[in-house]
Amino acid sequence: MSLILFDFDGVLADTLGDLLRFGQEACDELGVAHTVTTEDLNSLEVMSFATYGRQVEVPERLVGEFVSRCLAKFAEKDSTPNLFDGLGAVVWELSTRSALGVITGNSSKNVTAFLAEHGLGACVSVIYGLDAPGSKAQKILQAQDQFAAQGEAVFMVGDSASDIRAASEAGVKSIAVGWGHQSAATLLRANPDFLVYSPVQLLEVINRELDGSLST
């Protein structure tokens, strides 16, 4: 069976507003005089809460606390983030012919709550969160070993340059999405295999690739 791995923030979950707000609140609480903007996220070479903290000028000794506070704010939020429009049906359809997983810098607990809220829990076989050891590339390889049949296609769907580089390092195909936290220009500089701008395009690309592999 083929395998499709999703990043979480900015790919499945529309968390941009929360990331900006929680990042600003954490900065304010830690006494960091920085105004958080979307450019802080767009300019990140590695998309993680730790690099986000460094980007917004959090001192190194407080980066761990910045990460903890941001994750806690997500967990304590009254409602889960919105699912991007049209993505639920696409995820369900993809799950009928591929194993699905999530690899994220967010916590597994937050992802599990999100999937349950949006009725997608049954679609996803595995979640590798911030609490799981290893780099994103290592987690891709772990998922591949566990869920993909020998020679079957594996895709990493992400919204950041670091997602694309992790896919390349792991030797799998990368699909960058244009609705996430980094601009198309930033994504293209990382050389993704595909760049899509809507969930429908995502479905079309994956189905075309899978159908092509079956015909060869």
Q: What are the residue boundaries of the structural domains of the chain, listed by start? A: 2-14+82-215, 16-76
* Positions of E strands within the chain: 2-6, 13-14, 82-83, 98-103, 126-128, 154-158, 173-177, 194-196
Q: Per DSSP, what are the bridge partners of residue 154?
A: 3
Nearest partner of 25 among 81, 70, 77, 71, judged by Cα: 70
The position carrying tokens 């999937």 is 115
pLDDT digits (tens, 9 = 90+) for 47-82: 899 999 999 999 999 999 999 999 999 889 888 899
Tell how strand 126-128 and strand 154-158 pair up.
unpaired
Banded model confidence at residue 214, pLDDT cuts 50, 70, 90: low
Average of per-residue pLDDT across 152-156: 96
pLDDT digits (tens, 9 = 90+) for 157-198: 999 999 999 999 999 999 999 999 899 999 999 999 999 999
Banded model confidence at residue 1, pLDDT cuts 50, 70, 90: confident
Residue 201 has pLDDT above 80, yes or no: yes
pTM: 0.89
Mean pLDDT score of the chain: 94
Banded model confidence at residue 43, pLDDT cuts 50, 70, 90: confident
- Select from 2.60.40.2550, 3.40.50.1000, 3.30.200.20, 3.30.420.10 the CATH code of 2-14+82-215: 3.40.50.1000
Task: Give dist(CA 43, CA 38) in Å, integer.
Answer: 9
Residue 136 has pLDDT above 90, yes or no: yes
Buried/exposed code over 110-139 (b: 16+ C-beta within 10 A; e: otherwise): bbebbbeebebeebbbbbbbbeeeeebbbb
CA angle 70/142/44 to nearest 5° reads 40
